[in-house]
Amino acid sequence: MVAEIKHSIVVDVDIQTLRLLGNDGQVLLEAPISTARKGVGEINGSEQTPRGRHIIRAKIGARQPVNTIFVGRRSTNEIYTSELRQQHPGRDWILTRILWLSGTEPGKNRLGNVDTMRRYVYIHGAPDEDEMGVPGSHGCIKMRNHDVIELFDRVALYTPVIIKA
């Protein structure tokens, strides 16, 4: 038996906000985010944030320390610092927690050249100095670390995620 989904997530690209909603539509969490600097789009390699209906397909990083660095969805056993950022300029920092998204709309954001999961699109933590409220990611949805921890702890696998623009 599949557990009842108790929440849903709405990502509003236009206002750079993520909302966690309860069954009754009540806003349980609202947080500033940063989506793709190249805008919205679904094509593989576009570095754009995909639109439409998704689910959380995997949750990665439970109980890891704040600012844990992930590469290829695995902890590097390093903690992010501004010194590391200076040593690796231009690196796409994926920190603290990962909610890996999978599209649910074949031909739009699932399968073929538009597959969100195969594009490795996540909701994930970001360095504190990364600006939220403005597009700046490589396609993912970046959040403040404390916000992504709260979201991670409150949602289950297969929670619906709507990305609208």
CATH value at residue 75: 2.40.440.10
pLDDT of residue 72 exceeding 50: yes
1 located within any domain: no
Residue 1's pLDDT is what? Answer: 47
Q: How far apart are CA 16 and CA 14, in angstroms?
A: 6
How many structural domains does the chain have?
A: 1
- The sign one gets for the Cα dihedral 80, 82, 84, 89 is positive
Asked if the structure places residue 26 within a domain, the reply is yes
How do beta strands 27-34 and 141-143 pair?
A: antiparallel
| Amino acid (one-letter) located at 162 | I
- Cβ atoms of residues 125 and 152 within 8 Å: no
In a domain? residue 110: yes
Model pLDDT, residue 78: 95
- Determine the residue type at 47: E
H or E stretch covering 146: helix 145-154
Q: Is residue 38 part of a domain?
A: yes
Q: Tell me the residue range of the domain where 19 lies.
A: 7-164
- Residue 63 near residue 53 (C-beta atoms within 8 A): no
Could you give the percent of the chain with pLDDT greater than 90?
93
The verdict on residue 66 lying in a domain is: yes
Contact between residue 47 and residue 36 where contact means Cβ atoms under 8 Å apart:
yes
132 within 8 A of 34, measured Cβ to Cβ:
yes
Average pLDDT value for the chain? 96
Instruction: Report pLDDT digits (tens) over 43-67.
Output: 999 999 999 999 999 999 999 999 9
Note the pLDDT of residue 164. Answer: 98
Residue 91: inside a domain, yes or no? Answer: yes
Over the stretch 83-128, which tens digit does the pLDDT of each residue have?
999 999 888 999 999 999 999 999 999 999 999 999 999 999 999 9
**φ/ψ of residue 129, rounded to 5:** -80, -10
Checking if the pLDDT of 4 tops 80, the result is no
Q: What is the distance between the alpha carbons of residues 28 and 81, in angstroms, rounded to a whole number?
A: 31
pLDDT for 90 equals 84
Query: What span, in angstroms and rounded, lies between the C-alpha atoms of 24 and 29?
Result: 14
